[in-house]
Structure 1
Amino acid sequence: MIAADHKSILEQANAAVRVGDNEGFLAHCTDDIRWTTVGEGTLQGKQAVRDWMKTAYASPPSFRVEKLVAEGDMVVALGTIMADDAQGQPAEFAYSDVWRFRDGKLAELDAFVIQPKG
């Protein structure tokens, strides 16, 4: 599978998230997906991600992908996402998702999410 195919798969998975179709997103994931939000923790397996999405994405997240860079079995997405800050108020965060694919599915994620100052 070529890198452009991986980008297309991630775009399809992201489209599902935007409309609240968590199962549509999970259809693009391996059963043993490893989802790490750096500094927060790691989810292991599709069921763990499903359970997390039920609360974290109870309302579909609003996010914008600004760049997608693909090479080999990796795709890096850079963008912004709206989420609640530490005080529970809506805020914009910058993110970088580093995805690894296996057999055409999302297998590993290292997500870096920060709230820019100023």
Structure 2
Amino acid sequence: MSDTNKAVLSKANEAITRGDYEGFLACCTEETRWTFVGDRTLEGKDAVRRYMAEVYTEPPVFTVHCMIAEGDSLAAIGEITLKDADGNPTHHAYCDVWRFRDSKLAELQAYVVETGPAR
């Protein structure tokens, strides 16, 4: 199962980098739940879709350094660059902990720390 989950997340991440947010959402359950620890929680695909429209004004640029899988959980550790409200790139380190159900992304706990301007 861990290899399957890694393949699903890799496919979803590839969609994000192409700006194919619907392709990403196809990898999620309808009731997917995203918790950005210390910030907000999104409930369902429509909430995630709105979040992506707001935050991903351009497709993010990111690198996954490693994935660690156990059972129905998968942690991805990496770096991501996003544009802020003024269009300036900002760099972040992250650890996303995903829970899968039926080979789809069901729940996310995202630990994201801004590390400064993009390099």
When the two structures are superposed, what TM-score results if normalisation uses the length of structure 2?
A: 0.91
Shift of 1:87: 7.8
Residue correspondences, number: 116
Of 21-30 and 84-93, the range deviating more from structure 2: 84-93
Of 54-63 and 86-95, the range deviating more from structure 2: 86-95
Please tell me the root mean square deviation across aligned C-alpha atoms, in Å: 1.6
Q: Deviations over 1:41-84 (max 9, x none)?
A: 10000111011111211210011000011111011000001124
State the 4+ residue runs in structure 1 displaced beyond 6 angstroms. none
Unaligned runs of 5+ in 1: none
Secondary structure of residue in 1 paired with 2:38:
coil
Of 87-96 and 44-53, the range deviating more from structure 2: 87-96
Secondary structure of residue in 1 paired with 2:106:
strand
Secondary structure of residue in 1 paired with 2:112:
strand
Q: Distance in 2 between matches of 1:85 and 1:115?
A: 11
Q: Does 1:83 align with 2:97?
A: no
Q: Distance in 1 between matches of 2:26 and 2:57?
A: 18
Unaligned runs of 5+ in 2: none
Change (3 A) 1:18 1:88: closer
Q: Which residue of 2 aligns with 1:34?
A: 33
Q: Which residue of 2 aligns with 1:103?
A: 102
Shift of 1:116: 3.5
Secondary structure of residue in 2 paired with 1:39:
coil
Identity of aligned residues (%): 51
Change (3 A) 1:55 1:87: closer
